[in-house]
């Protein structure tokens, strides 16, 4: 490598040929080969890597996933070198070649020495800024991560609480129904014969076939009517027997036929029927509640992608639906969600967990923009060799100056403590750098649309 290779790099603007020569003399030219690692996350950052030509992907291990954090694909971009100013500096990501080229590997001792000679004030500023920025960013990201985790955990707890509470109530009531069932069987023992019990069971099965959802007012009227009939026939536990019979569709004609079958065993016989019906209904409620909990657990697994590899072939609607489940507590009160998924949208190769974070941010922003009340329309469609996912809300819209700055780092219009902690700049980075896609905003009063366009395969694969 010679001075001519570095002269046109903006990174080295202002350096003389002699200075560039000093830098090259103490450094090494390293070839870039696709798929070959140049440096590794967590290792001491003893070298400063300056891209001359080619391209390098920056990977980082997050959990069990190897995630692409960005690319060095413009000559003059650099990585590492932190030990020039921090004795404990390590590589924040691993560098892996994705296009043939060259990189200048500069020892950190040489970098620190040359900076101190050429720009002594600059060296002191870099050291101070590096240490301060690292401390601030670490604290801020940790806080944002905790806020996001707390928000999602609270939402999940809220979603699970309803079916869990319903299952708990049903199990408690089922205990009462089973006790009543056993008590009624003791009351029937010796009072009814085999033929009577068979006819009673037929009447019970008849209710099962005629059961239907009744209007609450009609159901209450039917329950009162049956309760009065039971009282007229000296049935003491009418308050326990009437509700399940009414809910199952029993009427006075059915009650009269039951009375003809049971005779003196009317109360234990009807209590047995009512307890059996109640137990069946309660078991159905427990089944439905536990099914809902299982669905929520499956949605969390899909959302987090905790049991899958980094890049998968996915249906983007699955990730969107699992995200809607995670944010269900924010959507329930006044937000209508319309899913307009295109039937011809193909599956794509993507970093599913990262896209779910993008969907979380965009949905959360839309709900906040509508102040919790409005319509959120989610559309998926194809556009040439890309798929398009659009989130359209009926909020007040965004002024042009806000749209223009929406993807700037650290820019937000939200109050402190609101939002997911994942800014639109990070969402754009995930879409653009990790997937080779684009994200755009169009807005006017009453309608804001955020459109994400994704290729069938991420360009950083």
Domains of the chain by residue range: 3-118, 163-291, 306-455
Kind and range of the H or E run holding 378: strand 373-383
CATH top-level class of 3-118? mainly beta
Q: 306-455 — its CATH code?
A: 3.30.565.10
CA distances from 103 to 27, 50, 115 (A): 10, 5, 20
Ranges of H-type helices in 305-414: 316-326, 328-331, 352-369, 400-405
Mean pLDDT of 188-214: 82
Q: Is the pLDDT of residue 284 over 90?
A: no
pLDDT tens profile 71-125: 899 999 999 888 888 777 788 889 999 999 999 999 999 988 888 888 777 666 6
Rounded to 5°, the CA angle 271-273-276 comes to 105
CA distance 43 to 88: 10
Tokens of 158: 């809220």
Rounded to 5°, the CA angle 305-310-312 comes to 80
Lowest mean pLDDT among 35-39, 46-50, 152-156, 335-339: 152-156
Whether this prediction's pTM lies above 0.75 is answered by no
For 278-300, the DSSP string reads HHHHHHHHHHHHHHHHHHHHHHH
Q: Is the pLDDT of residue 148 over 80?
A: no
Mean pLDDT of 186-215: 82
- Asked if the domains at 3-118 and 306-455 fall in one CATH topology, the answer is no
Mean pLDDT of 26-55: 92
Mean pLDDT for the chain? 83
pLDDT tens profile 295-353: 777 666 666 554 455 678 889 998 898 888 878 777 777 889 999 999 989 999 888 87
């Amino acid at each position: 490598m010679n001075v001519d290779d570095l002269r046109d790099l903006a990174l080295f603007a202002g350096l003389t040929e002699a200075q560039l020569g000093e830098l090259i003399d103490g450094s090494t030219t390293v070839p870039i080969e696709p798929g070959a690692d140049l440096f590794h996350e967590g290792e001491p950052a003893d070298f400063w890597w300056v891209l001359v030509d080619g391209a390098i992907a920056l990977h980082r291990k997050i959990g069990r996933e190897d995630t692409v954090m960005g690319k060095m694909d413009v000559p003059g971009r650099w990585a590492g070198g932190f030990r020039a100013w921090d004795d404990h500096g390590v590589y924040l990501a691993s560098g892996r070649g994705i296009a043939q080229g060259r990189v200048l590997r500069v020892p950190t001792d040489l970098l620190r020495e040359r900076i101190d000679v050429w720009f002594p004030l600059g060296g002191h500023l870099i050291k101070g800024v590096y240490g301060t920025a690292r401390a601030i960013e670490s604290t801020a990201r940790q806080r944002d991560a905790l806020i996001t985790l707390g928000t999602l955990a609270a939402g999940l707890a809220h979603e699970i609480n309803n079916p869990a509470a319903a299952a708990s109530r049903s199990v408690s009531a089922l205990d009462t129904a089973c006790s009543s069932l056993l008590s009624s069987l003791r009351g029937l023992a010796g009072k009814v014969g085999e033929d009577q019990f068979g006819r009673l069971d037929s009447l019970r099965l008849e209710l099962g076939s005629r059961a239907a959802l009744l209007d609450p007012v009609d159901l209450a009227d039917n329950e009162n009517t049956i309760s009065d009939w039971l009282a007229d026939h000296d049935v003491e536990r009418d308050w326990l027997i009437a509700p399940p019979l009414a809910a199952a569709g029993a009427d006075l004609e059915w009650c009269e036929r039951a009375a003809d079958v049971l005779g003196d065993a009317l109360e234990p016989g009807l209590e047995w029927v009512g307890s059996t019906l109640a137990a069946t209904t309660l078991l159905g409620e427990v089944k439905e509640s536990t099914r809902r909990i299982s669905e929520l657990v499956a949605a969390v697994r899909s959302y987090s992608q905790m049991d899958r590899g980094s890049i998968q072939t996915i249906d983007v609607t699955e990730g969107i639906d699992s995200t809607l489940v995670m944010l269900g507590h924010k959507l329930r009160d006044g937000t209508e969600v319309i899913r307009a998924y295109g039937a011809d949208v193909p599956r794509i190769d993507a970093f599913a967990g990262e896209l779910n974070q993008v969907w979380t941010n965009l949905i959360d922003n839309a709900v906040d923009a509508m102040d919790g009340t409005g319509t959120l329309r989610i559309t998926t469609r194809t556009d040439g060799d890309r798929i398009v996912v659009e989130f359209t809300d009926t909020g007040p819209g965004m002024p042009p100056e806000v749209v223009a700055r929406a993807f700037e780092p650290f820019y937000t219009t939200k109050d402190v403590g609101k939002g997911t902690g994942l800014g639109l700049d990070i969402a754009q980075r995930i879409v653009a750098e990790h997937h080779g896609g684009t994200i755009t905003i169009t807005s006017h009063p009453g309608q804001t649309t955020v459109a994400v366009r994704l290729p069938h395969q991420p360009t950083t694969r």
